[in-house]
Chain A
Amino acid sequence: MKNILILDYGMGNIASVKKAIKKLGYHSIVSDHISLNENYDCIILPGVGSFKTAMQNIKKNKTDCILKELVVKRNQKILGICLGMQLLAEYGDEPVLSEGLGLINGHVKKMTLKPNRLPHVGWNNVVVNNSKFNSFHNKDFYFIHSYSFVVEDKLDVMMSVHVDDKEFTAAVNRNNIYGTQFHPEKSQDFGLDLLKNIIDAKT
């Protein structure tokens, strides 16, 4: 049985993530407690709300330090979803400049769109840059966000998305670190497939 933790740090839609993982046939635990004594197959960082509040919550009980130890030093898999993906960055601007987990280099900044409006909300197709995930090329996923992860190293951008004539980060990946700006748990069959692919991916 896989040891999947959905980290509950007081931000957002945890029930949907748990439901999606159950649908895949996996068991997951929702908890605000993360332990150095556990060997997680996947730590899922969901989240909706503001970057700054989220980081304040994660810094309580030194959850941020434990996360870094497990992910960076012990190579355990992490998947950030939506705001959870943005928290992987070094910095975020929502609502004011604050430090993120710094697991992937880059900065989360407010988007500017025209003629589309903020938030970028709805289904949008992704461009896949990582051959392991080629089967998801051009598939539609559900997005809802006004800030976007500007990633420093292009190789970390696993998927991108186009709004108007601009390109934004749709998903990131570096080794055992994954993040999706869209909500795979809300993106019907392809979303569930992607979730399974990430959970099953070798680190």
Chain B
Amino acid sequence: MLKLRLIPVLTYNGFALVKTKSFGKNPRMVGNPIQAARVFNSRKVDELVFTDIFATRQSRKLNLNVVEKVINECFMPVSIGGNVSNLEDINDLLKIGADKVVINSNAFHDSFINKAADMFGESTIILSVDILIESKKKFILLSGKKYPLENYIDKIKNYNYGELFLTSVNNEGTQQGFDIDLFNFFYESVDKPIIFNGGAGNLNHFYDLFSKTKIEAVASSSIFYFTQYNPDDIKKEIKKIRNNVRL
């Protein structure tokens, strides 16, 4: 039976791991990416995601030296993102051992994501979308600017890629729980495996999400830095309602 996945996310600012709140300014420093990767590897997590969340806005490229050290700590799959804008970038990441590459804003430039999937195989490519809700309307954030989601949803449905990494901007970093309606909206709209990210602060939040949706993969960050819970605690909680947990 295919197991559901719990995926820690490491967000990097070019120097250190940082944690934002609803993508706000002044993120908190939360540590060193290589040490964090080592800890998550020793905890046998299902997968790891590492993204440089400021690379696109600051027109920087990923620091491949750091990325390689992060990957070298991991004997589970690692997905890497941060201003991935051309095929060369993807090739560079795969060469140093990335399993999957996360593409966010750049996915929509000339349908770059389709070219990436053609070249490296759909399952290597993760489309990451950041969704902001204001006055009940959904917006997608691209390079820090917001656009109505309705102009992009067909692309998200039809592009070629392996998985959708969906972040709720409103809930991200708040530790106030998941936006279950947002997940369900995307689950109905998009026919790909979805990794849902943003909002977890305690075990109840996971119980809620897994009992009210058909979710198979969840990503989290703050809960690992700011609470006593580790990945196994969360999985044991999920195991109360779902059988397919890898412990």
Q: A residues bordering B, Cβ < 8 Å?
A: 12-16, 19-20, 23, 48-50, 83, 115-125, 140, 142-146, 162-163, 183, 185-189, 191-192
Among B70-78, B105-113, B132-140, which stretch is in contact with chain A?
B70-78
Most chain B CB inside 10 Å of its own CB: which residue of A140, A144, A192 = A144
Whole-angstrom distance between the Cβ of B178 and the nearest chain A Cβ? 19
- Give the total number of A-B pairs whose CB atoms are below 8 A apart: 94
Whole-angstrom distance between the Cβ of A49 and the nearest chain B Cβ? 4
Which residues of the other chain, A, contact B98 by a CB distance below 8 angstroms? 13
Which residues of the other chain, B, contact A13 by a CB distance below 8 angstroms? 94, 97-99
- Contact sample, A vs B, 18 pairs, CB 8 Å cutoff: A12-B94, A16-B99, A19-B97, A48-B124, A116-B216, A119-B122, A119-B193, A120-B2, A122-B2, A122-B3, A122-B4, A122-B5, A122-B193, A123-B3, A123-B5, A124-B1, A144-B100, A185-B75
- The main secondary structure of chain B at its interface with chain A is loop
Q: Are A117 and B192 in contact (CB under 8 A)?
A: yes
Q: Are A186 and B94 in contact (CB under 8 A)?
A: no
Report the nearest A residue to B98, measured CB to CB.
A13
Instruction: Indicate which residue in B2, B123, B217 contacts A145 across the interface (CB closer than 8 Å).
Output: B123
Q: Are A121 and B99 in contact (CB under 8 A)?
A: no
Q: How far is the CA of A116 from the CA of B5 in the complex (A)?
A: 14
Q: How far is the CA of A121 from the CA of B209 in the complex (A)?
A: 20
Which residues of the other chain, A, contact B3 by a CB distance below 8 angstroms? 122-125, 140
Q: How far is the CA of A187 from the CA of B77 in the complex (A)?
A: 8
Q: How far is the CA of A115 from the CA of B97 in the complex (A)?
A: 31
Report the nearest A residue to B100, measured CB to CB.
A144
Q: How far is the CA of A120 from the CA of B96 in the complex (A)?
A: 24
Q: Are B71 and A142 in contact (CB under 8 A)?
A: no
Most chain A CB inside 10 Å of its own CB: which residue of B46, B97, B100, B163 = B97
Report the nearest A residue to B120, measured CB to CB.
A49
Q: Are A48 and B121 in contact (CB under 8 A)?
A: yes
Instruction: Indicate which residue in B71, B123, B217 contacts A15 across the interface (CB closer than 8 Å).
Output: B71
Which residues of the other chain, A, contact B99 by a CB distance below 8 angstroms? 13, 16, 144, 183, 186
Q: How far is the CA of A189 from the CA of B43 in the complex (A)?
A: 12
Whole-angstrom distance between the Cβ of A162 and the nearest chain B Cβ? 6
Question: Is B14 located at the chain interface by the 8 A CB criterion?
Answer: no
Which residues of the other chain, A, contact B217 by a CB distance below 8 angstroms? 122
Other A-B pairs beyond A13-B97, A121-B123, A189-B44, 5, CB < 8 Å:
A13-B99, A49-B120, A125-B1, A146-B123, A188-B44
Which residues of the other chain, B, contact A117 by a CB distance below 8 angstroms? 191-193
Q: Are A49 and B121 in contact (CB under 8 A)?
A: yes
Instruction: Indicate which residue in A48, A121, A145, A187 contacts B193 across the interface (CB closer than 8 Å).
Output: A121
Whole-angstrom distance between the Cβ of A156 and the nearest chain B Cβ? 24
Most chain A CB inside 10 Å of its own CB: which residue of B4, B76, B123, B124 = B123
Most chain B CB inside 10 Å of its own CB: which residue of A115, A122, A140, A143 = A122
Which residues of the other chain, A, contact B71 by a CB distance below 8 angstroms? 15-16
Which residues of the other chain, A, contact B72 by a CB distance below 8 angstroms? 19
Q: How far is the CA of A12 from the CA of B163 in the complex (A)?
A: 18
Q: How far is the CA of A113 from the CA of B146 in the complex (A)?
A: 35
Q: How far is the CA of A163 from the CA of B94 in the complex (A)?
A: 27
Which residues of the other chain, B, contact A123 by a CB distance below 8 angstroms? 2-3, 5, 46, 246
Q: How far is the CA of A49 from the CA of B46 in the complex (A)?
A: 22
Q: Are B2 and A163 in contact (CB under 8 A)?
A: yes
Which residues of the other chain, A, contact B75 by a CB distance below 8 angstroms? 20, 23, 185-189, 191-192
Q: Mark B63-103, 1 if CB is under 8 A from A, else 0.
A: 00000000110011100000000000000001111111000
Report the nearest B residue to A50, measured CB to CB.
B121
Q: Are A122 and B216 in contact (CB under 8 A)?
A: yes
Known contacts A49-B121, A140-B246, A144-B123: A121-B96 contact under CB 8 Å: no
Report the nearest B residue to A49, measured CB to CB.
B121
Q: How far is the CA of A177 from the CA of B77 in the complex (A)?
A: 25
